[in-house]
Amino acid sequence: MKDDVQPRLRPSWLLLGPAFVAAIAYVDPGNVAANVSAGAQFGFLLLWVIVVANLMACLVQYLSAKLGLVTGSSLPEAVGARMKRPTRVAYWVQAELVAMATDLAEVVGGAIALYLLFDLPLLIGGVITGAVSLVLLIVKDRRGQRMFERVITGLLMVIAIGFLSSLFAKAPPVDAAAAGLIPRFDGAESLLLAAAMLGATVMPHAVYLHSGLARDRHGHPEPGPRRRMLLRVTRWDVGIAMLVAGAVNLSMLLVAATNLQGMDNTDSIEGAHAAVQSTLGPTIALLFAIGLLASGLASSSVGAYAGAMIMQGLLRRSVPLATRRLVTLLPALVILAVGVDPSRALVLSQVVLSFGLPFALIPLVRLTGDARVMGADVNHRVTTALGWVVAALITLLNVVLIYLTVAG
Average per-residue pLDDT for the chain: 88
Residues, the chain = 408
13-19 average pLDDT score = 82
Q: What was the pLDDT predicted at 30? A: 81
167-190 average pLDDT score = 88
Asked whether the beta carbons of 7 and 226 are under 8 A apart, the reply is yes
Asked whether the predicted pLDDT for residue 7 surpasses 50, the reply is no
Nearby residues of 37 by Cβ (< 8 Å), 6 or more positions away: 193, 196, 256, 266, 267, 272
Q: What was the pLDDT predicted at 10? A: 54
Task: Provide the whole-model pTM.
Answer: 0.91
**Separation CA 115–CA 229 (nearest Å):** 46
- Residue 169's pLDDT band, with cuts at 50, 70 and 90, is confident
Please tell me which residue, 262 or 90, carries the higher pLDDT value. Answer: 90
Given CATH 1.20.1740.10, say whether it is the number of domain 15-407.
Answer: yes
Q: What was the pLDDT predicted at 1? A: 39
CB count in 10 Å sphere of residue 175: 8
- Residue 408's pLDDT band, with cuts at 50, 70 and 90, is low
Amino acid residing at 326: L
Q: What is the pLDDT of residues 352-397, one digit of tens each?
A: 777 788 899 999 999 999 999 999 999 999 999 999 999 898 888 7
Q: Is the dihedral of CA 226, 232, 238, 241 positive or negative?
A: negative
Spell out the domain ranges in the chain.
15-407
Please tell me which residue, 117 or 189, carries the higher pLDDT value. Answer: 117
Asked whether the predicted pLDDT for residue 3 surpasses 60, the reply is no
Q: Poorest-confidence range of 100-109, 182-191, 252-261, 338-347?
A: 338-347
Closest alpha carbon to 291 in 24, 51, 48? 24
Asked whether the beta carbons of 115 and 122 are under 8 A apart, the reply is yes
Asked whether the predicted pLDDT for residue 165 surpasses 70, the reply is yes
Nearby residues of 381 by Cβ (< 8 Å), 6 or more positions away: none
Indicate the burial class of 376 (C-beta count within 10 angstroms; 0-12, 13-18, 19 or more). Answer: exposed
Percentage of the chain beyond pLDDT 70 is 94
